[in-house]
Structure 1
Amino acid sequence: MAVSNLIIINAGNFGREVHVWARQAIQAGMPWRIKGFLDSRSAILDGFDYGTPILAAPEDYRPQADDVFLCAVGDPQGKRHYTTMLEARGAQFTSLIHPTALIGHAVRIGTGAIICPLTQLSCDIELGRHVMFGTLSSGAHDIRIGDYSQISGGCQINGHATLGEGVFLGASVTVLPKARVEDWSYAGAGSVILKRVKTRTKVFGNPAVQIGTVD
């Protein structure tokens, strides 16, 4: 099997985590070699021992023939910006499914997704492109999650719930069965979503109530 050169967009906090998980995926058989990071902050890895270079700023990099990409940007709008920019230059994105993730039957995972350690996805699930599903989070049957959404660690998304495009769930958010979280909305850590979060709404609490809007 041909080996691809993996490039991680963002060398910050989440980028370093993705680097660790990518190495573990390689050990489990993924045909990658880690080529480097894309980040405009040339000194961001100073003091860390990763042995992986920052190749360029994302704005300056031109994809090469054997490159594949993962976007480790936690903000959904930033993720859309960088992936769209690089895709326009011909970048090919791959998906990272950690070896410890439990993936059930008829789980459809879009290109560019990052499925973190100890995630559980049961059955008949659809995840869009560039979705991140965080460590120790679980997705029950028949959930739908739109492109660019970010599901932080410890979340529980229950059966038939729907998350739109660009949704951000903070750590340990619970989404109740059949609830709907609309596009580009934000739920703060620990929130419990009962029914509906409107487009570009920021919510927090148990039960989750609106505390602002998302620009």
Structure 2
Amino acid sequence: MKNLVIIGARGFGREVFDLATNTQAFIDGEYQIKGFLDDKIDALEGYKGYPEIIDSVEHYTPEENDVFVCALGTVQPKKEYAEMILAKGGEFINLVDLKANVRSNISHLKGVLIFSFVFVSVDVTLSDFVSLQHFSCLGHDARVGKWSHMSSYSTITGYTVLEDEVMLQTGAKVVPKKTVGKGGFVGAGSLVIRNVKPGQSVFGSPALPMTL
């Protein structure tokens, strides 16, 4: 049996713990949940029913039978801390909720998180360390790049492309055959009707570049 270590013990970390207890792999006894890694040692203070915070990511050395998932809800910290563990030889697994509907193969991937009531249609291409939160929807032939994050109720439609490190906030939608470039950010409730340039942040319906 593997020992699952969750990177991040804050709000999203608690959600990922819940996800980890609602997978077929957990039911089949493929792993038990060992605990969290977080430098905020009191992150779980006031909450009950969670395993302990073992250590910080910086100080933890992976042990035999450890496997990992990264429970950080923004792209760059997720990448930074997952890469710390990868550099130490850590192995990442996928978590797929029993109530997710995934029509595309992800068995070759690592670090993917798919929450309840997500729909992944046919011939969708996902990448390592993609996170799909509750009720997000991915249409046929869509592609999602490494490290990208789709928040709850976000939708990408047929032939949409999210390049690496893209963030879609809650309720964001992208119309068919549009691309959100690497590092792009789409604000909550936005509707993307034209391509988003790499590194660009957009907001609104229709989505327009954000200005300070």
140-149 vs 104-113, which moves further:
104-113
What are structure 1's unaligned runs of at least 5 residues?
Answer: none
State the match for 2:76 in structure 1.
77
Secondary structure of the corresponding residue to residue 126 of structure 1: coil
Q: Per the alignment, do residues 39 and 107 of structure 1 end up closer, same or farther by CA in structure 2, a change over 3 Å counting?
A: closer
The one-letter amino acid of 2:198's match is: T
State the match for 1:54 in structure 2.
53
State the match for 1:24 in structure 2.
22
State the match for 1:210 in structure 2.
209
State the match for 1:86 in structure 2.
85
State the match for 2:112 in structure 1.
113
2-structure distance, mates of 1:184, 1:134 = 19
What are structure 2's unaligned runs of at least 5 residues?
Answer: none
- Whether 1:6 aligns to 2:15 is no
Query: What's the offset of the Cα at 1:23?
Result: 1.2
2-structure distance, mates of 1:28, 1:169 = 31
State the match for 2:186 in structure 1.
187
Query: What's the offset of the Cα at 1:29?
Result: 2.5
Which has more strand, going by share of residues? 1
State the match for 1:63 in structure 2.
62
Query: What's the offset of the Cα at 1:109?
Result: 6.5
TM-score of the aligned structures, taking structure 2 as reference length? 0.95
**Taking every aligned residue pair, what percent have the same amino acid on both sides?**
34
1-structure distance, mates of 2:20, 2:59 = 24
18-27 vs 117-126, which moves further:
18-27
The one-letter amino acid of 2:177's match is: K
Moved over 6 A (4+): none
TM-score of the aligned structures, taking structure 1 as reference length? 0.94
Task: Give per-residue Cα distances to partners, 1:4-28, cap 9 Å, x unaligned.
Answer: 0000000000000010111122553
State the match for 2:159 in structure 1.
160
Q: Tell me if structure 2 keeps the 8 A contact 1:156–1:175.
A: yes
Query: What's the offset of the Cα at 1:108?
Result: 6.6
